Each structure stands twice: as structure tokens, then as C-alpha cells.
Structure 1
Amino acid sequence: MAICNIITILIGRYAIQVRGLGPSVPISSLEGFGLPELLATTSLGHIIGAGVIIGLNSIGAIS
């Protein structure tokens, strides 16, 4: 789940064209990346992560 969130944050950092409109995040490495962008990318990361966990569980890779 954490890996999926990190990947979507990295993709979102470059894919979101209009950013920085909302309140900023007090992390220096995410400059220009606001709270709405962070919430959107982590929400998508959780959806993808849940799918990965369900998929891995269904093929028996994790129990």
C-alpha cells in the first residue's frame, strides 16, 4: 500500500498540470504540491493498493 502511494505521488507530481491552488504542504521536498494534490494522489494510491492486495491474495502470493 505504501509503495502504491509513493508511486502515485511521484506520477501525480509530474502529471498534474494545474497545481498549488490550495493550501501548501509544510514539506520542503513537495514545494508547489498542495494539500489537494496530496489528498488526490494518496486517495488514488489507496485504491490501487487495495486492488494490488486483493489481486495478490487471489493468486496466493500473500496470505
Structure 2
Amino acid sequence: MLSNLMVAAASVPATPAWNPTVGIIISVSSIVILLLSTRIEKPLVGPKLPVLPVSVPTFIAAMAFGHIIGIGIVLGLTNIGRL
């Protein structure tokens, strides 16, 4: 099992060091996903946020998914040599 993980880890591209570009990419992707989260079927289930038209669970889920999408974008741009 450990050898399979070592083989898989060898094929993963090196991640870039954190810089403002990486932060901006992840922040923008999180905001875009948060804006799209208002389109889901029930965005207001649970305690409501006072400023945004979403609930706390929807906000947390949108931020988590936005980070996942942002990391994918950063790794993809790194893999093709653009970042």
C-alpha cells in the first residue's frame, strides 16, 4: 500500500510557493462559488448570515468547495507552466 502512494506522489507536480497570485486565484474562486451557491435549491436551511443571502452551512460549504476549485486551478496552471 505504501509503495502505491509513493508511486502516485512521484507523479504529482511540485506546488508553487505561496505568493499573492495564488492567494488571488483561491480567493476569486471562493467568491465565485459563493455567488453560485445562492442558486442551489435550499440555500437558507440553518442559521442565516446577517449580511449574505445564504446560511452558515451553505457559506462554509461554498468556501470549502471554492478552495478545492482554486487549488485545482493553481495545480493546473503550475502543471502547464503558467504559474
* TM > 0.5 fold call: yes
Which deviations, in whole Å up to 9, do the C-alpha atoms of 1:11-60 show, x marking residues without a partner? 1111x111222112132xx13x1100001111110100000000001111
Asked whether the 8 Å contact 2:37–2:43 carries over to 1, the reply is: no
| One-letter amino acid of the structure 2 residue matched with residue 58 of structure 1 | N
Q: Using CA pairs under 8 Å that are at least 6 residues apart, name the structure with larger relative contact order, 1 or 2.
A: 1
Normalization by structure 1: what TM-score? Answer: 0.82
Question: Of 8, 25, 33, which aligns to 2:49?
Answer: 25
Q: Does 1:44 align with 2:55?
A: no
1:10 aligns with 2:35: yes
List alignment gaps of at least 5 residues for structure 1.
none
Runs of 4+ in 1 over 6 A off after TM superposition: none
CA distance in structure 2 between the partners assigned to 1:10 and 1:47 by the alignment? 16
Q: Which residue of 1 aligns with 2:55?
A: 34
CA RMSD of aligned residues (A): 1.0
- Partners of 2:43 and 2:71 lie apart in 1 by 26
- Equivalent pairs counted in the alignment come to 58
Instruction: Report % sequence identity.
Output: 33
